[in-house]
Structure 1
Amino acid sequence: MTGPSTPGTEPGRELVHRAVPYRDPEHQAEVLAGPVAGALEDNRRALVVVEPECRSELERSLGTDAGVEFCRPERMHSAPPFTVAGRWSRAVRGALADGATGVCTVSQPVDLPGTDPAYWTRLDLALDHALGDLPVEMLCCFPDGDDAREAVGALHDEFLVDGGTIPSGHRRGDHELLREYPQPPPSELGFPLVTLPVQLSGLAAMRRVVQRHAVLSGLGPERVEDLVLAVNELVSNGIEHGSGAPVLRLWRTPAGLVAEMTDSAACHLAFPGLAAPPLSGVRGRGMWLASELTDVLQVWTAEDDPGRVQGTVVRVTMGSP
């Protein structure tokens, strides 16, 4: 039996971001059943990433054939926060392209390797940016407690409590939170296969170098083409909008071929690559395209992580299918 549904998103309406306190998995599923069922009844899609106990309770309440799309947390969160936000964005846009009028997403922090408070904070902020102009009701579950609502409220506009919504009253600025929860600095990958300073006249030669190493890394033709285009976009950004002379490095790792563009100029985009810029825009499209074409995109900037990096570092990884 489902609980009361909450107001969702209407066609054309932008993101609604709500935090959902819960006592235990049974209570969590009880609170979620109403909005998830309501989304499905409204021809919206329900994309849910929760722990197994909550999933079992939701399936018991709604039925295994209700149409909810579940994803295992360890699969969704197998990448850095901005890449995960890009995965959510692609899933939402795919649902809309298939005819859904909107999407209800459900997630929760889980204890996984490589995750910590900085990971979950940056992911929440990245999701706000990646999904901000899409008709999405985003429900973020958290264990309720004495101080939990103030901490979680810093990241959310509203709480979903007893079937209704209340303002969080604790929302903080994105840039303030990004500074408070910085991402780790770029990891050392050892001696690179290639170190190549690139200027405008050297773009064609650079593309050939990337193509050769992508083929030698075992990437198929389509993924080779995608990686070459992605790296070309990143390096071209450094030439056109940065110092004019970025440096490309390549590594072969267990995850795939890694290409890194470093530039002495700072990037002034807080969430680079997360959302497609408007068709009339002239900035940000290259970073977004690189994110769409590769498996993982990571960006470190002196502005985002002061004192940890110099200028801008952008890494993309492309593995075998």
Structure 2
Amino acid sequence: MTIQPDSGETPPSWDSPAGPFEHPALFYREADDYLAGTLPFIREGLNAGEPVAVAVPGENLRLIREGLGAQAAGVKLLDMNEAGRNPGRIISTVLRDFADRHSGGRVRIIGEPVWPGRSPMEYPACLQHEALINLAFSGRDVTILCPYDVVRLDPERVKDAERTHPVLVDTSGSRASDAYAPEQVVQECNLPLSAPPGVPRMSYGDGFCSDPLARARAFAVEHATRMGLRGDRLEDLRLVVNELAANSLDHGGGSGTLRIWAEDGRVVCAVSDGGHITDPLAGRHPVGLRALGSRGLLITHLLGDLVRTHTDVQGTTIRVYFDVTRPDDASPDH
């Protein structure tokens, strides 16, 4: 796998001064708490002439839209159920996309990537995302407020928010988080990923087969079709497998292994090779049309419904999930 950022950017250090970047967690218990914590934040930004975006799950988006009334027209509103379906693409397509378009002054964003409907399978990616925000925006003139439902969320997830946010806000006011440790959280999220026993697999590169990319694509499509994947989603899988296998050939020691299986209504592809991803934000940097460098990991995050990665000096495994029941017309724009 690639060890360089997809965009050619040099990622900031965890030790970089926080500067103007602010990343508070908002702990709320009911709708009134939610609105009391979000609407003033939005209105202060609008009154100051600051660009404001809100990306939260549908029901909370409705509350904010209704609470703002006519002011909602001045806010970019996104349903996080769709925009953040894969937590690994939120930084590039939601947060960085908005902040980079308004780089002339302070930008305000409300982002709610963790909500009660998130599955245990998705949650580690959400936690990793929240920690990585601090690295992705270090030194930038941006505030990202992240609401957490302390009534309906597992208490451990609320505790995790204290580890990924330097400031905590609730009805009693704001305070610094004594548990803040985002780099440690990222390390803990780098979990080994083992496939179920007996799943279909193939090896490619280093003489295993001629035209390894075509063989990998054909292998994945054949098995995914049997597992019920169709239409645009099947084409998305084909492209992701091609990009990850190409990364293996170019940056992962010249060979790799592809595995595929069905799990809880999803088709799962896992690509393993001998590479080591050293940039924690690889695949989360927006990439311009003229930028040099690989786009494979970014494409993987854009097209997959969930992406999990394990990487160390021994090698890398990237696991990508595709929802079988997801309609073709819900697929992200290519």
Compute the TM-score of the two structures, normalised by the length of structure 1: 0.67
Q: Which runs of 5+ in 2 are unaligned?
A: 1-18
Q: Deviation per CA, 1:109-139: give whole Å up to 9, x if none.
A: 4322523875553231133345558764211
Match of 2:90 in 1: 87
- 8 Å contact 2:190–2:311 — kept in the other structure? no
Check 1:208–1:242 CA distance in 2 against 1; reply closer, same or farther (3 A cut). closer
The SS at the match of 1:246 is strand
Q: 1:190 to 1:131 in 2, by over 3 A?
A: farther
User: Which segment drifts farther, 164-173 or 311-320?
Assistant: 164-173
**Residues 104 and 112 from structure 1, CA distance in 2 versus in 1: closer, same or farther, beyond 3 angstroms?**
same
Aligned to 1:291: 301
The Cα of 1:73 is off from its aligned counterpart by: 5.8
C-alpha distance 228-167 of structure 1, shift in aligned 2 (>3 A): same
> Which residue of 263, 266, 270 corresponds with 1:260?
270
Residues matched between the structures, number: 293
Q: Which residue is 1:178 aligned to?
A: 186
Map residues 171-320 of structure 1 onto 2, 5 A cutoff: 171-174=180-183, 176-180=184-188, 183=191, 185-186=193-194, 188=196, 191-192=199-200, 194-199=201-206, 204-207=211-214, 209-210=216-217, 214=221, 218-220=230-232, 224=235, 227-251=237-261, 258-276=268-286, 285-302=295-312, 311-318=315-322, 320=328
Q: CA deviation at 1:210?
A: 0.8
Distance 1:92 1:236, change over 3 A: same
CA-atom RMSD in angstroms: 4.6
The runs of at least 4 consecutive aligned structure 1 residues that moved more than 6 Å come to 97-101, 147-150, 161-165, 277-281
SS in 1 for 2:164: coil
Write the letter of the residue equivalent to 1:210. Answer: R
Pick aligned residue for 2:166 from 139, 157, 168:
157
Do structure 1's residue 62 and structure 2's residue 68 form an aligned pair? yes
Q: What's the offset of the Cα at 1:294?
A: 4.1
Percent sequence identity is: 18
In the alignment, does 2:23 pair up with 1:17?
A: yes
TM-score (structure 2 length as normaliser): 0.65
Q: 1:218 to 1:64 in 2, by over 3 A?
A: same
Mark the CA change 1:148 to 1:198 in structure 2 (over 3 Å): closer, same or farther. Answer: closer
Cα–Cα, structure 1 residues 15 and 199, in superposed 2: closer, same or farther, change >3 Å?
farther
1:57-107 CA-to-partner distances (Å, cap 9, x unmatched) read 5345322761355555655664xxxx3141353134554687796451232
- The one of the two structures with greater contact order (alpha-carbon pairs below 8 A, sep at least 6) is 2
Stretches of structure 1 that go unaligned for 5 or more consecutive residues are 1-12, 304-309
Flag the 1:97–1:127 CA change in 2: closer, same or farther, 3 A: closer
Post-superposition offset of 1:156:
1.6
Letter in 2 for 1:300: H
Residues 206 and 51 of structure 1: is their aligned pair in 2 closer, same or farther, counting only changes over 3 Å? closer
Rounded Cα–Cα distance in structure 2 between residues aligned with 1:27 and 1:16? 21
Tell whether the 8 Å contact from 1:45 to 1:104 is kept in structure 2 after alignment. Answer: yes
SS in 1 for 2:243: helix
